[in-house]
Structure 1
Amino acid sequence: MFPKDKLDASGDASWRRREQVRKRREFFLQALFVLALLLVAGFFVANVESNLATKHVRSGFGFMSDRAGFEISDQLITYSSSDPLWKAFLVGLLNTLRVAGLTIITATILGVVVGLMRLAKNPLLRFLGAAHVEAYRNIPLLVLLLALYLVVTELLPGAREAFHAGSWIYLAKTGLYLAVPQIGTAAVLLALGAGGAVAAGAFVLLRRKLSVWMAAVWSLAVFAVVCVFAWVSCGALSGWDHPTQTRFSMRGGLQITPEFLTLWLGLTLFTSASIAEIVRAGVQSVRTGQWDAAYALGLTHSDAVSYVIFPQALRLIVPPLSSQFMTLTKNSSLAVMVGYPDLVNVGTTALNVTGQALEVICIIMLVYLSVNLVISVVMNAFNARVTAAKI
């Protein structure tokens, strides 16, 4: 009989050979699959190019350097109709990211509040939470956007009769106007930078004593306070640009267009209803014994939710929340129905100007795919952190 160590060595060598054969076979099959996909893609590309050439239609992305030839009403960077098309697409992309980013923040905050309202002991709060969810979850988003756009553009007063709070805020059918520091964009960047830096430091310090959930909440509160303080400080140092009423419109200050207001409010209300249900289900999934243990320790209802229940529910809330964020980003493409110049709206205009339908559609699809992949990666990393955290 062979010694035990020789038998073990022989078994290990045999196992390694089988593993090597298996890996080679899997690699070979995967290579064949990729090659087949490339061949199919090449066939379709060649077929499309042949059809376009037959119809004398120009193909390729060289048109992106051509003159745009159209204006964009809402823009975060300087743009004119004489700029190339790629800059027009960039303006549309920034507008999409702006409305999606702001809506993710507001919809999440409102969704968490409404979700906790549905679990409140007060019957009035429970009724209001249920009414919010049932109303906005059962109305088509497009109908909601059109209704809000009608309210903003038709039912609000004109510029001369605008609702206002002193000379700081004006609300009219032409949009929302805010007083801003004279230095404008620099003030925004300074406020965001200062708030982000202080909030990151606060999260690192608070994470040593609090759960991930509570540290994140306090960090967001610190971020908001520091941003407001930096904004007010910039205004105090440089002076304020106040909006003023003219005969037919408003002048000065920061204008938030009615199209942006409509899209932002509509997406926030619509998405917050789904997020509220996710939060409610996540909290109710926590075992009732956790509530009893929290009350036995003398915690109030709000403290029990904040320090015991919600951190545990977060493990079940985050995965479906990722899908809601990606759905929200895709739903922002309905901006074209209210005239907000997002990526789809700009792409549609560019398609009509250039006739490059296939290329424009590919660009739009690739951008949305990339943005949603980024959201997925970030949320998966956050989910891994929450799941691994000792909460």
Structure 2
Amino acid sequence: MNESNSVQRQVDAVYRAESRRVFATLIRLLGDFDLAEEALHEAFAVAMEQWPRDGAPNNPRAWLVSVGRFRAIDTIRRRTRFDASLAELAERIDAAEPDVRADEDVEDDRLRLIFTCCHPSLPQDAQVALTLREVCGLKTEEIASAFLVAPPTLAQRIVRAKAKIRAAGIPYQVPSIEDLPDRLDTVLQVIYLVFNEGYAASSGPSLTRADLSGEAIRLGRLVMELLPNPEVMGLLALMLLQESRRAARTSPEGDLILLADQDRSRWNQAQIAEGRALVQQALSSQQVGPYALQAAIAAVHAEAPSPATTDWTQIVGLYGLLAQIEPSPVVQLNRAVAVAMRDGPQAGLQLLDEILAEGDLANYHLAHAARADLCRRLGETAAARASYQRALELVKQEPERRFLESRLRELV
């Protein structure tokens, strides 16, 4: 019994460490997500049968790839009795002898898988679902729960995405040098979307979902390991610096605590140190992009021992640079809030009203909440009340709703 338990633990450890690497290589060899998934599970089932008897192999990853590949060939050949066209596929896979001795080859397979899951011809929600399912290995039910989607709905997204990959002949490869910048941007967008849903959920009873932000950081580390790039460093730094504040962002009851009111002793100093080092490395490359700039802003906040000592002049300047390279109403909103902290609420309110007048943020609850706060600080109670009420009409997140309601009650 003890020996059986030991083997089970060994197989479990190999599964945790190697299963997604094995899966990525099997997709390259087999050319099909579902066949690779089936082969992966069969390989681990064989391991449970043979390793107690023969001992674990010296290279479990290569062994699992080899067994999975042979099992897939057997499966395809059995199916040729019903579909003769599969015989050619079986011969092609049989002829392609895998080489998984070099770690860099295996990591190339993982990078190929990420770019396939984040192909721009797939809808963004499908990119997210497929990446979490196939690259991270999350179960369909886990992803559906995190994004507040019914499991059958999410399963259909994944099925349609795989069908699209097959039908459109989407290549399982790293893009060319010419195409890499645009394609990498799509990958980073998907990772950051996953992180944001975990760091500040778009709706539902909880403010955060640590499992999702954790998976996004893991993906960011993986991409940086496989493809070092200043913007990849910037994104990982941004996620680490934002994640460092998780413990201080909510009360024990799950209520929202604003940055200015957070207990900074609860910030994760290891994540801050790692994030700041990555920011410096990204900025020193002279190829500064939007993620690196956002990470630099987060680093300024992280460096301040208190709200009063925050270098708001530097933050305003960084938002100005960000607005130049990636202009957006949200960036302008954040800059207006920073100006209010540097120059006073009246200066910020003037900028914010100009932004709201343009109409792009008319249905963005955080814009109205920011305006309400500036009016509150100026003693303009009626205007603050109107903006808080508008924000409440738009908010979808329960802890944020409770926070806005408490602010509204405090107005006299």
| TM more than 0.5 | no
State the structure with bigger RCO (CA 8 A, min sep 6), 1 or 2: 1
**What is the TM-score with the length of structure 1 in the denominator?**
0.27
Instruction: Give the structure with the higher percent strand.
Output: 1
Greater C-alpha Rg: 1
